[in-house]
Chain A
Amino acid sequence: MSAAPNTAPDSPGTPRVPTIVLVGHGMVGQRFLEELARRGVAARARIVVLCEEPRPAYDRVRLSSYFSGRTPEELSVVEDGFLDEHGIELYVGDPAETVDREARTVTARSGRTFGYDTLVLATGSYPFVPPVPGKDARGCFVYRTIEDLLAIEEYAKTARTGAVVGGGLLGLEAAGALQGLGLGTHIVEFAPRLMPVQVDEGGGAVLRRTIERRGLTVHTGTGTREVLAEDGAVTGMVLTDGAELAVDMVVFSAGVRPRDGLARECGLAVGERGGVAVDAWCRTSDPAVFAIGECALATDGRVYGLVAPGYEMARTVAAVLAGEPDGEGFTGADTSASLKLLGVDVASFGDAHGTTEGCLDVVYADARAGVYKKLVVDGEGVLLGGVLVGDAEAYGLLRPLTGTVPPVAPEQLVLPPGAGAPVALGPGALPDEAVICSCHNVSKREIAARSSLAEVKRDTKAGTGCGSCLKMIGKLLPPAADQGLCGCFPYGRSELYEIARTRRIGSFAALLDAHGRPEARGGEGCEVCKPAVGSILASLAPGYILDGEQAALQDTNDHFLANLQRNGSYSVVPRVPGGEITPEKLIVIGEVARDFGLYTKITGGQRIDLFGARVDQLPTIWARLVEAGFESGHAYGKALRTVKSCVGQTWCRYGVQDSMRMAIRLELRYRGLRAPHKLKSAVSGCARECAEAQSKDFGVIATAHGWNLHVGGNGGATPRHADLLAQDLSDAELVRLIDRFLMFYIRTADRLERTSTWLERLDGGLDHLKDVLVRDSLGLCAELEALMTEHVGGYRDEWAQTLDDPERLARFVSFVNAPEAPDPSVRFVPERDQIKPDLVSLTAGPPNAGPLAAGTPAAGTLEGATSR
């Protein structure tokens, strides 16, 4: 950011460069600056930006992602160094207050005055708050800026219920945010349905049902009469139908109004219902003044509340100022949108409400499944528009087809696959001019000319707006040519697995030197391929995982058979098969934790984690645990974690099978199995599913006749419900099928690919999996079972093996030159009667240590990186 000291109007006589003053540094304002820079205007003109908010432009469209963890800094849309590089002067927190068009000056709140040759207004809009009594009480908010969100978040800490006034797009986003903050949430919408602008009655009904099922309360066809307050703070709300809601906070989201105050005060023409009137070149009634974005009233009489039309206006004005106006300027824009609100896909495009004369509707509705789709066509079959709720998959294809006669009958485009003739309408059906990215107005031709997503984003910006076009872009691009694991290997994990298996290669160095990329042969490999190959070698040749060269392939977690924590200490997780544990064993865990002063916590995987062990303490801790009959829980490995279980038939009045017995059997069978990613499992004693088996890589649910096997489930960052692979299996059938499933996965999955993503990617999906594993269509099953038998027979507890071998134990020291010395940097402070890492002393470091570097985790790491 630069701020030149010159704040006086240009004095006559000095050599003059033209000055452009931009009022408003929002999304459109920033885009305008980028367009000026791109066209070289920034180099020839002085550019001054007045920014009212306390921070430079940020991504308002993704504002709500703040609540899912994105920081205000990450929301910024201004690239580091952009302003400096182009000499743009930005005044943050200093709004324009008056414009003198006669003198061509703008005065800001700070008193600074700037002369201008061109003035560009990009002041956006403000949230409309209906003039109801009590609207200014403490606890009333709007939803527009980062500051609004910070205030909402703070207030919500002491609130239990909230109401959002307005059931439009933004209202639903705000409602989602309140619910996410843990509040009981009401939505009050004046229109008879939710999202009245985007969807029609049928779509609104489906949307409402789905949202109510998520626990929100929806009131439609009623307005807000009054906000009730006590001691100045919100306590409730009265609706126009007389109903009273007890709420602690209210968020107004009843539409926006263009911020045209500055323009009005200096006498520029504004529309009857607001908005700075502009022509096709976005010029206001004063030729030296332009208006763009949400504050502008376009020639078609509309104020556009979306970012894409604003970008188009920014481009138009920059082109005019660069002396290269193109086309017809800005005469109107597409207001198609595809969004995910409160988990529901909603899309509308073209003439969604069927206002064209003589048009016809094609409707498919399944209220039970929460799906509603409507297409609007004319008498000749030309697609005019449509509404999709609950399943917007077809949006990417339908929107660009708008205005054409689709290559198949319209009803086939809205029917679910399987009903009637399935349509496999690919991106090939789209004309070259079809606009794929509506945020940035990018056509199929422009995308198809590029060879990777990175190139598309860099050259056209497609996909960098709302992101709804990414799926379609993916389909238009050629499949990535280089499927290599990393800079060292040109092969993916499954190919390397096959190479190692068929060529009987047993060492990393041999694999790298013979099959690595030429430039990587003879080198060290890298942090990506080493653990991946380590895992392949381990699953091909069961044995001690840290022998010989293998020791150098494993992440620190595998190396020390424990999980690294943020201060350099480790955690210890003994295996507790099925979550079943005797009081004696519980006592041992308690005693070990007490004697070594470890922090103790029950995990989400039905076992106990002991945190805060120094490297040199791990062997003594494990000696005690092994002595008491514990084994490694492999919490550190890409291996089987836990098989969770419910208590099952033995105790539970509903149970139909002995889930405990089965869980223990499975956990003992697959313990120690190395895989492309961690493996989790669970067994439930009946269909009530208390063990949550359907969120596991392989989950087993008891039936009256045996067991159902579900595969490919996932919790974590991208949850996926498991698919049913087979039903009513006997014990032996179940185990055999799981053997096959796991080995097939280990053999064909990519590095760090959980079974869920692997299954999604598998050609032919679940049907193919059934063919291979149940019907043995590839004739592989005998081999898969044999591999598993070998694993089961070769299993040894890693910790017992380690303790038995002085050489293996030698590595468990803090310092090679002072084996007796504990690491003084690993320190703890008390919290809630236990310990926690002393991060303060860690930050300060030893004598001579500099301050910590600010940084982001290296590319490609997720939380949990150490064990990934």
Chain B
Amino acid sequence: MTTLELSPSPGSWLPVCETALLTPGRGVAALLPDGRQAAVFRDRSGRAYAIDNRDPFTGAQVLSRGLVGSADGRPFVASPLLKQRFDLETGRCLDEEGVTVAVYPVRTLG
């Protein structure tokens, strides 16, 4: 059994859940110690990603509930509210230049 961890700030790691709990292509939300939220995903190949959960267009904490896809070989999540897409590796919005969300490093233990 492996555990997924993410790093909310440099040097610290926070256990999120068992890796197997993540359905590939679907996300979950995690509450960070300082009140922020992270959206955590796993893709088909099993790789995990974490970005901020807050949709920067609406303020709602919903990115974890978007659909995961890939464009040009790079994974993204489409916000479930107004459908803007965010690159899971860089947090960059693919539909509106200059908009990004924070990315959190992830690792699996165990």
* A566 engages B60 (CB within 8 Å): yes
Partner of A842, one of B21, B59, B78: B59
* B65 engages A564 (CB within 8 Å): yes
Q: Give chain A interface residues in 830-868, CB to chain B under 8 Å.
A: 839, 842-850, 852-853, 855-861, 865-866
When distances are taken between beta carbons in the complex, the residues of chain B under 8 Å from A527 are 66-67, 69, 78, 83, 85
Assuming the contacts A525-B70, A527-B85, A858-B82, asked whether A815 and B29 have C-beta atoms less than 8 A apart, the reply is: yes
Q: Give chain B interface residues in 66-81, CB to chain A under 8 Å.
A: 66-73, 75, 78, 80-81
Assuming the contacts A817-B30, A846-B36, A853-B99, asked whether A552 and B23 have C-beta atoms less than 8 A apart, the reply is: yes
When distances are taken between beta carbons in the complex, the residues of chain A under 8 Å from B29 are 814-816, 823
* B31 engages A821 (CB within 8 Å): yes
How far does the Cβ of B87 sit from chain A's closest Cβ, in whole Å?
A: 12
Q: Give chain B interface residues in 6-30, CB to chain A under 8 Å.
A: 14-17, 21, 23-26, 28-30
| Interface SS majority for chain A | loop
* A559 engages B69 (CB within 8 Å): no
When distances are taken between beta carbons in the complex, the residues of chain B under 8 Å from A825 are 37, 54, 60-61
* B80 engages A817 (CB within 8 Å): no
> Once the chains are docked, how many angstroms separate the CA of A843 from the CA of B55?
10
A674 interfacial contact with B, CB 8 Å: no
Assuming the contacts A816-B21, A853-B96, A855-B99, asked whether A846 and B37 have C-beta atoms less than 8 A apart, the reply is: yes
How far does the Cβ of B93 sit from chain A's closest Cβ, in whole Å?
A: 8
Assuming the contacts A524-B69, A855-B84, asked whether A849 and B54 have C-beta atoms less than 8 A apart, the reply is: yes
A597 interfacial contact with B, CB 8 Å: no
For A, the interface residue count at a CB cutoff of 8 angstroms equals 57
Q: Give chain A interface residues in 489-526, CB to chain B under 8 Å.
A: 509, 519-520, 522-526
B56 interfacial contact with A, CB 8 Å: yes
When distances are taken between beta carbons in the complex, the residues of chain B under 8 Å from A853 are 56-57, 93, 96, 98-99
When distances are taken between beta carbons in the complex, the residues of chain A under 8 Å from B26 are 551-552, 559
Instruction: Determine which residue in A556, A839, A856 has the highest number of CB atoms from chain B within 10 A of its CB, and name it.
Output: A556
When distances are taken between beta carbons in the complex, the residues of chain B under 8 Å from A487 are 71
Instruction: Determine which residue in A487, A821, A823, A860 has the highest number of CB atoms from chain B within 10 A of its CB, and name it.
Output: A823
Q: Give chain A interface residues in 337-371, CB to chain B under 8 Å.
A: none
Q: What's the interface size class on B, roughly? A: 35 or more
Assuming the contacts A527-B67, A846-B54, A858-B84, asked whether A568 and B40 have C-beta atoms less than 8 A apart, the reply is: no
Partner of A815, one of B25, B31, B56: B31
> Once the chains are docked, how many angstroms separate the CA of A865 from the CA of B21?
28
* A859 engages B36 (CB within 8 Å): no
How far does the Cβ of B39 sit from chain A's closest Cβ, in whole Å?
A: 10
Assuming the contacts A524-B69, A821-B31, asked whether A857 and B25 have C-beta atoms less than 8 A apart, the reply is: no
With both beta carbons as reference points, the residue of chain B lying nearest to A528 in the complex is identified as B69
> Once the chains are docked, how many angstroms separate the CA of A826 from the CA of B37?
13
Assuming the contacts A850-B56, A858-B83, asked whether A556 and B61 have C-beta atoms less than 8 A apart, the reply is: no
* A552 engages B30 (CB within 8 Å): no
> Once the chains are docked, how many angstroms separate the CA of A823 from the CA of B36?
11
Partner of A845, one of B43, B54, B96: B54
* B30 engages A816 (CB within 8 Å): yes
When distances are taken between beta carbons in the complex, the residues of chain B under 8 Å from A552 are 23-26, 67-68
* B31 engages A843 (CB within 8 Å): no
> Once the chains are docked, how many angstroms separate the CA of A856 from the CA of B82?
8
When distances are taken between beta carbons in the complex, the residues of chain B under 8 Å from A530 are 25, 67, 69
> Once the chains are docked, how many angstroms separate the CA of A858 from the CA of B82?
6
With both beta carbons as reference points, the residue of chain A lying nearest to B77 in the complex is identified as A527
How far does the Cβ of A159 sit from chain B's closest Cβ, in whole Å?
A: 36
Assuming the contacts A825-B61, A845-B54, A857-B83, asked whether A525 and B17 have C-beta atoms less than 8 A apart, the reply is: no
> Once the chains are docked, how many angstroms separate the CA of A560 from the CA of B69?
19
* B57 engages A852 (CB within 8 Å): yes
When distances are taken between beta carbons in the complex, the residues of chain A under 8 Å from B60 are 566-568, 825, 842
* A818 engages B35 (CB within 8 Å): no
Assuming the contacts A552-B23, A814-B29, A842-B60, asked whether A559 and B82 have C-beta atoms less than 8 A apart, the reply is: no
A531 interfacial contact with B, CB 8 Å: yes
When distances are taken between beta carbons in the complex, the residues of chain A under 8 Å from B71 are 487, 526
* B28 engages A843 (CB within 8 Å): no
With both beta carbons as reference points, the residue of chain A lying nearest to B98 in the complex is identified as A853
When distances are taken between beta carbons in the complex, the residues of chain B under 8 Å from A817 are 14-17, 30-31
* B57 engages A531 (CB within 8 Å): no
> Once the chains are docked, how many angstroms separate the CA of A823 from the CA of B84?
22
How far does the Cβ of B22 sit from chain A's closest Cβ, in whole Å?
A: 8
> Once the chains are docked, how many angstroms separate the CA of A523 from the CA of B69?
8
When distances are taken between beta carbons in the complex, the residues of chain A under 8 Å from B31 are 814-815, 817-818, 821
How far does the Cβ of B32 sit from chain A's closest Cβ, in whole Å?
A: 9
How far does the Cβ of B46 sit from chain A's closest Cβ, in whole Å?
A: 12
When distances are taken between beta carbons in the complex, the residues of chain B under 8 Å from A488 are 69
* A551 engages B23 (CB within 8 Å): yes
When distances are taken between beta carbons in the complex, the residues of chain A under 8 Å from B81 are 564, 566, 865-866
When distances are taken between beta carbons in the complex, the residues of chain A under 8 Å from B15 are 817
* B70 engages A816 (CB within 8 Å): no
How far does the Cβ of A528 sit from chain B's closest Cβ, in whole Å?
A: 8
How far does the Cβ of A546 sit from chain B's closest Cβ, in whole Å?
A: 10
Instruction: Determine which residue in B30, B37, B65 has the highest number of CB atoms from chain A within 10 A of its CB, and name it.
Output: B65
> Once the chains are docked, how many angstroms separate the CA of A852 from the CA of B69?
24
How far does the Cβ of B88 sit from chain A's closest Cβ, in whole Å?
A: 10
With contacts A556-B62, A848-B34 known, what are 14 further pairs, Cβ within 8 A?
Answer: A524-B70, A527-B83, A527-B85, A566-B81, A568-B60, A816-B16, A817-B14, A846-B34, A846-B37, A852-B56, A855-B96, A858-B84, A858-B85, A861-B83
Sampled A-B contacts (12; CB under 8 Å):
A524-B25, A524-B75, A530-B69, A552-B26, A552-B67, A556-B65, A556-B80, A566-B60, A825-B54, A852-B57, A853-B98, A866-B80
The 8 closest A-B pairs by CB, nearest first: A552-B25, A526-B69, A527-B78, A524-B70, A816-B28, A556-B80, A523-B70, A556-B65
Which B residues contact A (CB, under 8 angstroms)? 14-17, 21, 23-26, 28-31, 34-37, 40, 43-44, 54, 56-62, 65-73, 75, 78, 80-85, 93, 95-96, 98-99
